Amino acid sequence: MAGGNSVAPSPPACMSADRVRGLRYPACSAPHGAVRSITGQGSPQEKQVSAQRWRLDGQTALITGASAGIGLAIARELAGFGADLLIVGRDPDALEMARDELVDAFPDREIHGLAADVSDHEDRREILDWVEDHSDGLHLLINNAGGNITKPATEYTEDEWRGIFETNLFSAFELSRYAHPLLARHAASAIVNVGSVSGLTHVRSGAVYGMTKAAMHQMTRNLAVEWAEDGIRVNAVAPWYIRTRRTSGPLSDPDYYEEVIDRTPMRRIGEPEEVAAAVGFLCLPASSYVTGECIAVDGGFLRYGF
Element (H, E) at 191: strand 189-194
Q: Is the pLDDT of residue 223 over 60?
A: yes
Q: Choose, from 209, 241, 257, 289, the residue flagged as catalytic.
A: 209
- Of 19-28, 98-107, 143-152, 283-292, the range with the lowest mean pLDDT is 19-28
The neighbour count for residue 180, using CB atoms within 10 Å, is 18
Mark whether 304 is an active-site residue: no
Distance CA 93, CA 105 (A): 19
Closest C-alpha to 230, from 23, 74, 11: 23
Q: Is the pTM of this model over 0.75?
A: yes
Closest C-alpha to 275, from 97, 140, 142, 127: 142
* pLDDT tens, position by position, 205-219: 999 999 999 999 999
CA-CA-CA-CA torsion sign (69, 84, 25, 228):
positive
* pLDDT tens, position by position, 39-81: 456 677 666 667 899 999 999 999 999 999 999 999 999 999 9
In DSSP terms, which residues pair with 88 in a beta bridge?
Answer: 64, 114
More confident residue, 245 or 38: 245
Distance CA 225, CA 30 (A): 24
CA 74 from centre of chain: 8
3-state helix/strand/coil string of 134-183: HCCCCCEEEECCCCCCCCCHHHCCHHHHHHHHHHHHHHHHHHHHHHHHHH
